[in-house]
Structure 1
Amino acid sequence: MSRRIRTAEESARRESALTKEAMRTLLADSTAPRDPRGRGDHYRKHLTDAHRTIEILQNRIKEVEAERDAAKADKDYTLSLCVTRTVAEEARLAAFRLARGKASLLAEWPPGAPTSMSHAIDCIPDPKPKWTK
C-alpha cells in the first residue's frame, strides 16, 4: 500500500532519502572485495560496526528516556506545589475573615461584650478578588 504524497516538499524529502539509501548500498557494494572470502569479512566488519552503532544509540536512548522521566517527575513535583487561582482566592478571603473576626474579638471589652469599635470592624467589607473576576 503506497503512501499518498501531500506536498512537493515531502516528495523531495522522500526522493532524497531514497537516493541517500541507494548511495550507501552502492558504496558498500563497490568497496567490497571481489574475493568471496574477503567479501564475507568485509560485510561482517560492516555488520559489527552497525551493531556497535546500534548499541551506542540504544544506550543514548536509555539516557534520554531517563532524563525525560526525571524532567517529568520534576514537572509533576513543581505542579504539586502550585495552587489554582480560585483556591488561592478562597484562602486569601478566609485569612481576611479570620483576621477581621480576631480583631473584632480583641476590640470587645469586657470580653464578649460588643463595642462600637468591634461593630465597626465587623462592618469592614470583604476585599475585592485579586486573582479572579
Structure 2
Amino acid sequence: MTKEAMRTLLADSTAPRDPRGRGDHYRSHLVDAHRTIEILQLRIKELEQERDKIKQAREYELSLCVTRTTAEDERLAAFRLARGKAAMLAEGPDGIPTGMSHAIDCIPDPKPKWSK
C-alpha cells in the first residue's frame, strides 16, 4: 500500500500542470508499465519452460531407477539362473546328475544385499 501511494505521489508530483501535458505524462507511465508487464510475462514463460524441462529430466531420471525390492529380486533370479546353468554343465552325458552338479544345486541362495 505504502509503495503504491509513494509511486502515485511521485507520478503526480512530476506531472505537468496543463491537462494535455498531464495526459501525455500519464500515458508515458502507462506505456512504461505495459512494457514492464510484457517483459515480466516473457520472463515468466521462460521460467515455466525451464521448470517443465527440469520436471521432464527428473521424470526421466526416475524412470531409470528401480526399487530395492525389484533389484533384490532380479539379483536373486540371476543367481538362480547361473546356479542352474552351472549345475547343468556339471551333469554327465544325457543329463545324468553327478556329485558336482548336486553340490552346485545345494548352494544356498545369497543373503539379501539391499533389503532385510
TM norm. shorter chain > 0.5: yes
**Who is 2:25 aligned against?**
42
Q: Which amino acid aligns with 2:24?
A: D
**Who is 2:15 aligned against?**
32
What per-residue deviation string (whole Å, max 9, x for no partner) do you get for residues 5-64 of structure 1?
A: xxxxxxxxxxxxx22222111111111111111000000000000000100111111111
RMSD: 0.8
Match of 2:62 among 60, 79, 96: 79
Report 1:45-60 matches (<5 A).
45-60=28-43
Which sections of structure 1, spanning at least 5 residues, go unmatched?
1-17
**Who is 1:13 aligned against?**
none
Per the normalisation by structure 2, the TM-score is 0.96
By relative contact order (CA 8 Å, sep 6+), the higher-ranking structure is 2
Runs of 4 or more above 3 Å deviation: none
**Who is 2:6 aligned against?**
23
**Who is 1:114 aligned against?**
97
Aligned residues: 116
Q: Structure 2 CA distance, aligned partners of 1:96 and 1:60?
A: 54
Q: Structure 1 CA distance, aligned partners of 2:59 and 2:52?
A: 10
Per the normalisation by structure 1, the TM-score is 0.84
Which sections of structure 2, spanning at least 5 residues, go unmatched?
none
Q: What is the identity percentage for the equivalent residue pairs of Structure 1 and Structure 2?
A: 80
